[in-house]
């Protein structure tokens, strides 16, 4: 297994405007390819937009969603991947032949869909169906997994994906800057975004504070460290419907250290070289081998009713 160049992207998407969003995916993929990347990852629902879907009817969701791999967006992603000779990971709403709706994330290259994952814990729209399986696939000899946003907050999902062989877990999000029971959480005033060129320091202070990056740093590096994986975090920046998001797209190594991060107040990519030797030097590699599943197999398997309430979902 050789070194792999990976980019994580951030951009301000437009709700429901697939043509516009795919045009930005095209331009940022070109930038990643110019930076030598083999792979570029975009945020959750980067093709369709995200937060606006909380108010869509079932019929509107079905109009927005696409069949995978037959939909137009997948065809366009394949064209972009071929043009730039790069693997692209991006998200959209999916429908199947029975009109079931899913939150999907795909990996596409010039030959087509390499992998598809359905979010295990979807909540943005009541008509979404949860996915029911993990996803591990190959990119240039690296075993890769996908977990979408809230999936990563449930630690068992990250461990299970790692145990299935993943060295890299792509973690597309639309997160931060929303109300929550945690101290300090809340929305960020959109006016700060609109005034960012005149007063970037005020916006950066909010983006980096407890509403945003500071909260992310309390848990995201732990997922990489505990499991000895590279975590590729992608998140939008700017307005997503009526909510401001803070980007911070980054790549975290198996030691829990940030090796690349987007720090611009706009559309951008960040790129890092992933080293296979780091996987076995990190503590997580030893922790996986030291496990005692005989002690907790029955505990982890106890019957449980999931609670997926989200505090900000119905807020305007």
Q: Which domains does the chain have, with CATH numbers?
A: 4-300 (3.60.110.10)
How many Cβ atoms from other residues are within 10 Å of residue 307's Cβ?
5
Residue 12, class by beta-carbon neighbours within 10 Å (0-12 exposed, 13-18 middle, 19+ buried)? Answer: middle
Measure the CA–CA gap between 216 and 65, rounded to whole angstroms.
30
Per-residue pLDDT band for 46 (boundaries 50, 70, 90) equals very high
Residue 25, Cβ neighbours under 10 Å: how many? Answer: 25
Nearest CA to 141 among 112, 113, 167? 167
Mean pLDDT over all residues of the chain? Answer: 96
DSSP 198-227: T-HHHHHHHHHSTTTHHHHTTTHHHHHHHH
Q: What is the pLDDT of residues 294-304, one digit of tens each?
A: 999 999 989 98
Greatest distance between any 2 Cα atoms in the chain: 59
| Model pLDDT for residues 85-116, shown as the tens digit of each residue | 999 999 999 999 999 999 999 999 999 999 99
Q: pLDDT by residue (tens digit) across 5-30? A: 999 999 999 999 999 999 999 999 99
Local structure of residue 38 (DSSP, 8 states): S
Alpha carbon distance 97, 256 (integer Å): 41
Give the C-alpha separation, 116 to 127, whole Å.
20
310, two tokens: 């989200």
Interatomic CA distance for residues 29 and 109, integer angstroms: 12
Q: Predicted confidence band at 316 (pLDDT cuts at 50, 70, 90)?
A: very low
Contacts of 270 (CB under 8 A, 6+ apart): 7, 8, 249, 250, 251, 260, 261, 262
Residue with the bigger pLDDT between 310 and 228: it is 228
Q: Name the helix (H) or strand (E) containing 5.
A: strand 4-10
Pull the structure tokens for residue 30.
Answer: 């070109």
Q: Tell me the mean pLDDT in the region 186-194.
A: 97
State residue 304's pLDDT score. Answer: 87
Ramachandran quadrant class, 235 (left: phi over 0; alpha: psi -120 to 50; beta: rest): beta
Mean pLDDT of 154-178: 97
| pLDDT surpasses 80 at 309 | no
In this prediction, residues 44-55 reach a mean pLDDT of 97
pLDDT at 182 over 60: yes
Residue length, the chain?
316
Q: With pLDDT > 90 as the criterion, what percentage of the chain qualifies? A: 93
pLDDT at residue 314 in the model:
57
Share of the chain above pLDDT 70, in %: 97
């Amino acid at each position: 297994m050789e070194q792999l160049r990976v980019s994580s992207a951030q951009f301000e998407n437009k709700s429901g405007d697939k043509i516009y969003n795919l045009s930005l995916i095209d331009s940022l993929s070109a930038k990643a390819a110019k930076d030598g990347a083999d792979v570029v990852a975009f945020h959750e629902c980067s093709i369709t937009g995200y937060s606006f879907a909380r108010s869509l009817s079932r019929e509107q969701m079905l109009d927005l969603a696409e069949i995978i791999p037959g939909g137009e967006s997948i065809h366009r992603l394949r064209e972009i991947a071929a043009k730039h000779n790069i693997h692209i990971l991006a998200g959209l709403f999916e429908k199947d032949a029975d009109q079931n709706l899913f939150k999907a994330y795909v990996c596409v290259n010039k030959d087509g869909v390499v992998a598809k994952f359905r979010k295990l814990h979807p909540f943005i729209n009541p008509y979404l169906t949860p996915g029911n399986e993990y996803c591990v696939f190959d990119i240039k000899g690296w075993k890769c997994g996908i977990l979408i946003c809230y999936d990563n907050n449930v630690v068992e999902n990250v461990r299970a994906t790692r145990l299935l062989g993943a060295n890299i877990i792509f973690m597309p999000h639309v997160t931060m800057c929303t109300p929550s029971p945690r101290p300090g959480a809340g929305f960020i005033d959109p006016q700060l975004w609109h005034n960012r060129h005149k007063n970037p320091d005020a916006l950066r202070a909010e983006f980096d504070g407890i509403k945003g990056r500071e909260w992310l740093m309390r848990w995201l590096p732990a997922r990489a460290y505990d499991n000895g994986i590279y975590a590729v975090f992608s998140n939008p920046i700017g307005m997503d419907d009526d909510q401001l998001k803070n980007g911070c797209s980054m790549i975290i190594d198996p030691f829990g250290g940030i090796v690349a991060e987007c720090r611009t107040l706009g559309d951008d990519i960040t790129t890092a070289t992933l080293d296979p030797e780091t996987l076995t030097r990190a503590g997580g590699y030893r922790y996986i081998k030291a496990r005692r599943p005989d002690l907790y197999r029955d505990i982890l398997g106890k019957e449980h009713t999931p609670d997926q309430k989200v505090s900000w979902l119905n807020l305007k």
